[in-house]
Structure 1
């Protein structure tokens, strides 16, 4: 009984380490080498649309409602201390430091990450990747690289859009509904939000999360078992693994950036 458990633990550990190795080799093969801008740029633009633009609606709607909820809950707490004027900084700092990068990454994993895994897994199942290799076309450079760079570019921009819309949603609730002074909302935000400490660190967070999510999504698709069940399992693993990894790295980055 104990021997079986140890064998299972050892097998799981070896599989995990091997998975890290395969993902590293995949990314290295996709990104290292002389870039071909003439062929790569149109592919990048297409993926920016598929990954970034098509994710914009869910980001806008989610950012608006989260900003509104933040303002409503924040006002309830701040009004007990007579500090309603600090509603602007509360909403802005919450979105810039935490909710903007993290929620965007989770939504990105659920929408774009799962789609990428399913797409690449299906290409593997239908032997499109093998066909490219037979035609002397590197599938890593043609399929993986444009999607990786599109994800890394798109997600920080989506996080900024999420934050901006959330701040406007907070203004809508705080000023237009709850009666907080508009000048106080914006001036207190300007006085308490630091460009480098808050905005830049938030962008850095979103860039790290972008690499994590897109790397996991591409690897799970490229490494998927080429069957319908295997692709389905890989898609689920993408969302779960990427979400948990983002939350874990969020704690690490927060401790490094804002831990004092």
Structure 2
């Protein structure tokens, strides 16, 4: 259901602090009087830009720090285990074990890099969504104020007698269309860059590998030599 304020439908229970329905009504009303129906489409577009940044942020956090913290914890555990073994053993088996540890750590680091990259990309997307929406509602507010100022001029009062619209009204709406169009183009550019980054992350994720099996030499007890103390 919707309530209708002059020039713009408002969902029942809508929060005017999140979307400026009053200002949108002013812009929409004068757009209708001016025959610039494209403005109405831009108003809806700005409303839709808000999306769900909270959900995007939650996704970003699920990659890092939540999942990536587990990876880093495992990495520290591997390093600690190697140092513990180093304190008591040496020989060819330890050398193979140490080299294998480096291999596993490389796999862990590559996995962490993908997780952190996904988190960073999601946070950038969230930031873009928020900034874009804030810019859009700012444009609505500025346009509404310009329209209210123009509506009070003698030029518009004269036009009111004939059902017309003065030049200042057209200019305010034109400025609004220009600003939103520029913003929309910036969004497309950003989304293209994000898409490229996502494809690169997808490629890196596809290249992730499971660690190779532990060298058989590590399991041969004769290859382990107690480390001399002193």
TM-score > 0.5 by shorter chain: no
- Shorter-chain TM-score tier: 0.3 to 0.5
> What TM-score do you get using the length of structure 2 for normalisation?
0.36
Counting helix residues as a fraction of each chain, which structure ranks higher?
Answer: 1
Larger radius of gyration: 2
> What TM-score do you get using the length of structure 1 for normalisation?
0.33
Counting strand residues as a fraction of each chain, which structure ranks higher?
Answer: 2
